[in-house]
Amino acid sequence: MKSLRRLIYPYIVWLTVLIIIPFLFIVLATISTFHIFNSYTFRFTFDSLRFLTDPIFLNAFKNSIKFAGITTLVCLTVGYPVAYFFANIKSKNKTLYVALLIVPIWSNMIVRIIAWENVFKPVSILNLFNLSFDMIGSDIAIIIAMVSMYLPFMIFPIYAVLDKMDHRYIEASRDLGANAFQSFYKVTLPLSLGGIVSGIIMTLLPAMTAFALPERIGGGTTILLGNLIEKEIFRGSFSTAATVSFVVMIVMLGLFMLIVRFDKEGETLL
Amino acid sequence: MRKSVIISVLAVFVMFSVSLVGCSSKEKLYVLNWGEYMNPDLVDKFEIENNVKVVYEEVGSNEEMEIKLKQGITDYDIMIPSEYMIDKLSQENLLLPINYSLLTNLENVEFFEDAKVLYEEEEFGQYLIPYFFGTVGIMYNTSNENIKTALESDNGGFCTLFDETNDFRVGLYDSPRDTIGAALMCLGYSVNSNNDTELGEAETLIETALAKSLGSIRFGQDDLKGDVAKGNLDLALVYSGDYFEMVFEYEAEETEIEFDYFAPDHTNIWIDAFVIPNTSKNTDLAHKFINFFLDVDNAAENADWVGYTPVISEVYNVMVNDYGYDYDHYYPQPEGSSREVFKYLGSEHAQKLNTILNAVRIS
Amino acid sequence: MKKNLYGSTLQVFLTIFTFTIVYLPILVIILISIHGSQYNYDSFKLTFRWYQEIINDQQLVDAIIVTFQIAVLATTISTILGTAFAIGIHSLNKKNRVRMMVLNNVPVVNPDIVTGIMLFIIFRFFRMTFGFPTMLLAHIFFALPFVILSVLPKLKQLDPNLFDAALDLGATKFQAIVRVIIPSIKVGMIAGALIAFTMSIDDFIISYFMKQGEFHNVSTLIYSRLAKRQISPSVFAYNSLVVVLTMGLMILFNRSNQTQKKVRG
């Protein structure tokens, strides 16, 4: 099949044009006056790096870590047992149950965010059931909405690994005298690590860079890195937006190294 | 192997270039405007009359308009920013002077005083034709009588927004000029203050309110009006036109109106106007477009759809007499009130306001 | 094997929690779409007028059409290209394959907003007109890696000699791919196509960077309306339709799968 190698050349060109070149542009915009809108001046400057010590950036960074961190933790704590449950039920409708978690993703994300926004306002459709919340702008509201958005993305990769796992390993460990906890801790958990890492990445990164969600649920007073990027590129300075994106990319690459260690070909990313 | 590399490079370029090919041969007019700020039926009518295509784009703020223009993705022919942004853009040489001889309808109309001053006396007056005007004020929910009492008290007005002793749920505008302007007016200063002490006081006022307030304060944009109307907010900083929009919406839905508008004696008056940016490739058509909206019938039909107050006095009279727009606050400048227009005070000032609003939001 | 009762109760509880928190917004959306008033929630009034109003909202109709056009085109193109690229990647030696996959997975892991900015920069750099073509390219871009990821495992299960055998028997390379490889990886292609379609239809952030002027897909249209006025319940009505249809299809699919299995078994 070696003769089919030729098929990847267009893909290499495609990825170079759409990933590597823009990545270099972002790096360039971070360390120089390079600008995509008016590219007539060019000199190296580290001015925009100074933004990294600006209280606005530090606050957004702190918020991103806080909200994405808590959300990921909740998703992992809830998602792992649920994935485990799904992987072990013996029903012919097993795939249907998992698929039912995909259905909400078909519903437009923005509309789901508005639905949460509605729920957290005192006058809302929930009044029909004599319920009323006033939680816009609170941390807990943002976390609830984020968990609701990203929980399925934690469950899928873990489920995928657990479902494929060979049950004979667990049986063997039990036969060798391990109790339920030991066999889980020594066998199941290490074998599902790849799925956990993918799940964390698929939850953490989108949560860190979300902008519509914190904007709507946060009442305009909670700013995350995503809000900063969106605001700067459309209503501020391009180089600042590039600098913040650069920071996000560093975080992304760090996590990416982790995934490459566990799962070289990204089989758990689906 | 080399052949396949060349082919693949070509393939990618073909994909890119497909998107570069234009499709329609009709003349195009690129318009950049605020949301819900022009009757689409009239735009259609203009398209048919002149056999052109109007490419219409909406933004949410003056600053966004500025960035869109400077990004240069689209070569706009018409924009409708507010007065201080027009001042800024004209200082940066981004606008084309209006050619009055192409505006045949201009002689049939008379602008209200504030708009007229802008257009006849200011240096940037040569770049603009006024469109709508109105005040900045407070929209509040009437189901709680305390709100009205608080607004009308001696220490009320804009100060009610920042009073940390009441437990109202407050909405502030996510725009440095408007929110800091309201704080300045509460303190009795000019909305155009560039004095660091005064700005510092305004910052402290907003900051204290955010930190100590018994109620809750949040920042929003044009969605604030809907929340006040529904009762999700008790009061919010809005433009007068936002309030009218809600009134018309509720009237159309035959829902009970439980909100009102309060314009303090001293407040900001804004004037939005047509300008032709220097990116315009079709200035004749741009003038035709402006002229079209100077026609009294068209302007009245437009004003009825938009709901804001027209700057042309003839149109205003049609609205009040024929369309029955006898609402309070419809005329933004009643006897005895003092109204201030925003001035552009340089990029340093704009940056300062930005920093203040950012700082109070993260404190 | 002894069952851990506490453990399984906890699992059931958390599963119920998961479905509740994930489906709550969906229920809210459906409820808003059938409630008579958009301002008043004192008492429930059943109505279907928001469903009728979808067609009166020309902008929404246009956006729905754009969304589906893009989703169908992006799915088709990325499934075809993705399969071809996956076959190419599969034929590499192990070291290069891992390298390619690392590069392939960058867009998967990359946060949407960064992908959006990257594409925005490069399209802008080429002075492309933003709108339908850029949005389509962007959707193909983020769907491709997923197609490759779902086709590749199926290729690994394939007997590598089959392809060479086909060539020996006189088939051209193209024939060999279409007649021998494709039928064996069909499942992976369908799965990839489904993921591509789902992601395309749901995407907001990347589309947000690709749009211009009055050109909108459903997500960007709703977002642009958010700051300006109340969202009409007809948006919720459209969304409810999509959800109910999907769920119905899924259950039907599951049923027919089972009956098939029964017949075969």
- What residue ranges do the domains of chain A occupy? 1-45, 54-269
Asked if residues B222 and B242 have their Cβ atoms less than 8 Å apart, the reply is: yes
What is the arithmetic mean of pLDDT over B97-105? 93
The C-alpha atoms of residue B167 and residue B60 are separated, in whole angstroms, by 30
Q: Do B362 and A55 touch (CB under 8 A)?
A: yes
Q: Which of B133-137, B356-360, C161-165 has the lowest mean pLDDT?
A: C161-165
Q: How many helices, marked H, and strands, marked E, lie in chain C?
A: 12, 0
B134-269+341-362 and B27-133+270-332 share a CATH fold = yes
| CATH class of domain segment(s) B27-133+270-332 | alpha beta
Q: Once rounded to an integer, what is the mean pLDDT over residues C77-84?
A: 95
pTM of the model: 0.88
Query: Higher confidence at residue B137 or residue B222?
Result: B137
pLDDT at residue C248 tops 80: yes
Higher pLDDT, B77 or B252: B77
Burial of residue B93 (number of CB atoms within 10 Å: 0-12, 13-18, 19+): exposed
* Cα dihedral value A163, A168, A173, A176, nearest 10: 170
Residue of C nearest to B222 (CA): C228
CA-to-CA distance for C193 and C86, rounded, in angstroms? 14
Q: Does pLDDT of B283 surpass 80?
A: yes
What gap in Å lies between CA B155 and CA B162, rounded to an integer?
11
Per the structure block, which two tokens stand in for C124? 């802008």
B192 vs B161: CA distance, rounded Å: 19
pLDDT digits (tens, 9 = 90+) for C148-165: 999 998 888 888 788 888
Q: How sure is the predictor about B22, in pLDDT bands with cuts at 50, 70 and 90?
A: very low
Residue of A nearest to B224 (CA): A219
Q: Do C230 and B221 touch (CB under 8 A)?
A: no
A17 inside 8 A of chain B by CB: yes
Structural contact between residues B12 and A14, judged by C-beta atoms closer than 8 angstroms: yes
pLDDT at C181: 87
Measured between CB atoms, does A121 come within 8 Å of chain B?
A: yes
Helix (H), strand (E), coil (C) string for C145-166: HHHHHHHHHHHHCCCHHHHHHH
SS (H, E, C) chain B: CHHHHHHHHHHHHHHHHHCCCCCCCCEEEEEEEECCCCCHHHHHHHHHHHCEEEEEEEECCHHHHHHHHHHCCCCCCEECCEHHHHHHHHHCCCEECCCHHHCHHHHHCCECHHHHHHHHHCHHHHHEEEEEEEEEEEEEECCCHHHHHHHHCCCCCCHHHHCCCCCCCEEEECCHHHHHHHHHHHCCCCCCCCCHHHHHHHHHHHHHHHHHCCCCEEEECCCHHHHHHHCCCCEEEEEHHHHHHHHHHHHHHCCCCCEEEECCCEEEEEEEEEEEECCCCCHHHHHHHHHHCCCHHHHHHHHHHHCCEECEHHHHHHHHHCCCCCCCCCCCCCCCCEEECCCCCHHHHHHHHHHHHHHHHHC
pLDDT at B281 over 70: yes
Instruction: Kindly state the percentage of chain A with pLDDT values over 70.
Output: 93
CA distance C264 to chain A (A): 15
> What is the pLDDT averaged over residues B222-250?
90
DSSP state of A186: I
Quote the pLDDT of residue A100: 87
Please give the average per-residue pLDDT across C74-80, as a whole number: 95
The encoded tokens of residue C186 equal: 């069909």
pLDDT at C32: 93
CA diameter of chain C: 76
Tell me whether residues C226 and B223 touch, CB distance under 8 A: yes
What percent of chain B shows pLDDT beyond 90? Answer: 57
C250 close contact with A: CB closer than 8 A: yes
CA-to-CA separations, A37 to A95, B59, B279, in angstroms, rounded = 49, 19, 14
Nearest-Cα residue of chain C relative to residue B230: C39
Task: Please tell me the distance in Å from B87's CA to the nearest CA on chain A.
Answer: 18
Residue C229 has pLDDT above 70, yes or no: no
Q: CA B39, CA B60: separation in Å to the nearest integer?
A: 17
Which of B4, B12, B13, B16 to mutate: most C Cβ within 10 Å? B16
Q: Which among B1, B12, B220 has the least Cβ separation from residue A14?
A: B12
- All residues at 6 or more sequence positions from C203 whose CB lies less than 8 Å from its CB, including other chains: C112, C139, C142, C217, C219
- Note whether B70 contacts A220, CB cutoff 8 Å: no
Mean per-residue pLDDT for A156-163? Answer: 90
Task: Tell me the chain A residues in contact with residue B362 when contact means C-beta distances shorter than 8 Å.
Answer: 55-56, 59, 223
The residue ranges of every structural domain in chain B are: 27-133+270-332, 134-269+341-362
Please check whether residue A176 touches C, CB under 8 A: no
As a whole number of angstroms, the distance between CA B349 and CA B356 comes to 11
pLDDT above 70 (res A39): no
Tokens describing residue C85? 């690229």
At A203, the pLDDT band (50, 70, 90 cuts) reads very high
Model pLDDT for residues A63-109, shown as the tens digit of each residue: 999 999 999 999 999 999 999 999 988 887 888 888 888 888 888 88
Q: How many helices (H) and strands (E) would you count in chain A?
A: 14, 0
Q: Give the per-residue pLDDT at A38.
A: 60
β-pair partners for B261? B139
Q: How far is C76 from chain A (nearest CA, A)?
A: 17
Residue A180 binned pLDDT confidence (cut-offs 50, 70, 90):
confident
pLDDT at B43: 94
The answer, for B56 touching chain C at a CB cutoff of 8 Å, is: yes
Cα A99–Cα A100–Cα A102 angle in degrees, nearest 5? 65
CB contacts of B60 in chain C (<8 Å) are 227-228
Please identify among residues 162-221 of chain B the ones whose CB lies closer than 8 Å to any CB of chain C.
Answer: 220-221
CA B52 – CA B32 distance, rounded (Å): 16
The average pLDDT across B185-193 equals 94
> What one-character-per-residue DSSP string does C50-89 give?
HHHHTTT-HHHHHHHHHHHHHHHHHHHHHHHHHHHHHHHH
Cβ–Cβ under 8 Å, residues B194 and B349: yes
Interface touch B361/A235, C-beta < 8 Å: no
pLDDT at site A36: 65
3-state secondary structure of C9: helix
Stronger pLDDT, A21 or B23, i.e. the higher one: A21
From B147, C23, B177, B174, select the one nearest A218 (Cα to Cα).
B174
Does the domain formed by B134-269+341-362 have CATH 3.40.50.2300? no
C153 CB near a chain A CB, below 8 Å? yes
**Of B113-117, B203-207, B295-299, C184-188, the least confident:** B113-117
Q: Which residues of A touch C35 (CB under 8 A)?
A: 125, 128
Q: Taking the mean position of all CA atoms in its chain, how far away is CA B139?
A: 16
For residue range B239-259, list pLDDT tens digits in order.
Answer: 988 898 889 888 888 889 999
- Work out the mean pLDDT of chain A and round it to a whole number: 87
Q: CB distance from C248 to chain A under 8 Å?
A: no
Minimal Cβ distance to A220: which of B12, B63, B220? B220
Give buried/exposed letters for C74-88 (b at 16+ CB in 10 A, else e).
Answer: bbebbbebbbbbbbb
Cα separation, C15 vs C179, whole angstroms = 43
Considering only CB atoms, which chain B residues are within 8 Å of A220? 172, 174, 218-220, 361
Q: What is the CATH number of domain A54-269?
A: 1.10.3720.10
Model confidence band, residue B9 (pLDDT cutoffs 50, 70, 90): low
Chains in contact with A, where contact requires at least 3 CB pairs less than 8 Å apart: B, C
Q: Chain C residue with minimal CA distance to B15?
A: C137
Q: Does B152 touch chain C (CB under 8 A)?
A: no
CB B353 within 8 A of CB B282: no
Whether the per-residue pLDDT at A40 is higher than 70: the answer is no
From C74, C76, C209, C215, select the one nearest C142 (Cα to Cα). C74
Residue A264 has pLDDT above 80, yes or no: no
- Residue B329's region, left for phi above 0, alpha for psi from -120 to 50, else beta, is left
The neighbouring-strand residues paired with B96 are: B276
pLDDT surpasses 80 at B223: yes
DSSP A263: -
Q: What residues of chain A lie within 8 A of the CB of B92, using their CB?
A: none
pLDDT tens-digit map of C153-201:
888 888 878 888 888 888 888 888 888 888 889 988 998 998 899 889 8
B74 Cβ under 8 Å from any chain C Cβ:
yes
Chain C residues touching residue A163 (CB < 8 angstroms): none
Residues of chain C in contact with residue A125, where contact means CB-CB under 8 angstroms, are 28, 31-32, 35, 41
Could C149 and A270 be called an inter-chain contact, meaning their C-beta atoms sit closer than 8 Å? yes
Contact A235 B362 (CB under 8 A): no
Q: What is the mean pLDDT of residues C9-19?
A: 93
Chain B residues near any Cβ of chain A (below 8 Å): 1, 4-5, 7-9, 11-12, 61, 63-64, 67, 70-72, 169, 172, 174, 210, 216-220, 227, 230-232, 358-359, 361-362
Pick B16's closest partner by Cβ from C40, C128, C230. C128
* Stronger pLDDT, A47 or B318, i.e. the higher one: B318
Nearest CB to B60 within list C40, C132, C227:
C227
DSSP letter, residue A44: B
- Mean pLDDT of the A198-219 span: 92
Q: How many CB atoms lie within 10 A of CB B294?
A: 21
Residue C95 has pLDDT above 80, yes or no: yes
Mean pLDDT of B285-309: 93
Q: What are phi and psi of A36, to 5 degrees?
A: -75, -20
Average pLDDT of the residues of chain B:
88
- The per-residue pLDDT for C206 is 93
| Residues of chain A contacting residue C138, judged by C-beta atoms under 8 Å apart | none
- CA B194-B221-A59 angle, to 5 degrees, is 70
Over 80: is that where the pLDDT of A55 sits? yes
Average predicted confidence (pLDDT) for chain C: 87
ipTM: 0.89
Query: Domain C58-231 sits in which CATH superfamily?
Result: MetI-like (1.10.3720.10)
Q: Does C56 touch chain A (CB under 8 A)?
A: no
pLDDT score recorded for residue B6: 61
C137–B35 C-beta distance less than 8 A: no
Enumerate residues 6+ apart whose C-beta is below 8 A from B338: B265, B266, B267
Instruction: Please give the Cα distance from B38 to B35 (Å, whole number).
Output: 8
Query: In this complex, do A9 and B231 lie within 8 Å of one another by their Cβ atoms?
Result: no
CA C42 to chain centre: 38
User: CA dist B297 to B105, B308, C178, Å?
Assistant: 11, 16, 66
Q: Span A220-234, mean pLDDT?
A: 88
Average pLDDT over residues B152-179: 91
- Burial group, residue B225, by CB count within 10 angstroms (0-12, 13-18, 19+): buried
Q: Which of A255-259, B309-313, C120-124 has the lowest mean pLDDT?
A: A255-259
φ and ψ at residue C124, rounded to 5 degrees: -65, -40
Is A22 part of the contact surface with chain B (CB cutoff 8 Å)? no
Contact criterion met (CB below 8 Å) for A30 and A49: yes
Q: Is the pLDDT of residue C80 over 60?
A: yes
Chains B & C: contacts with CB separation below 8 Å: 65
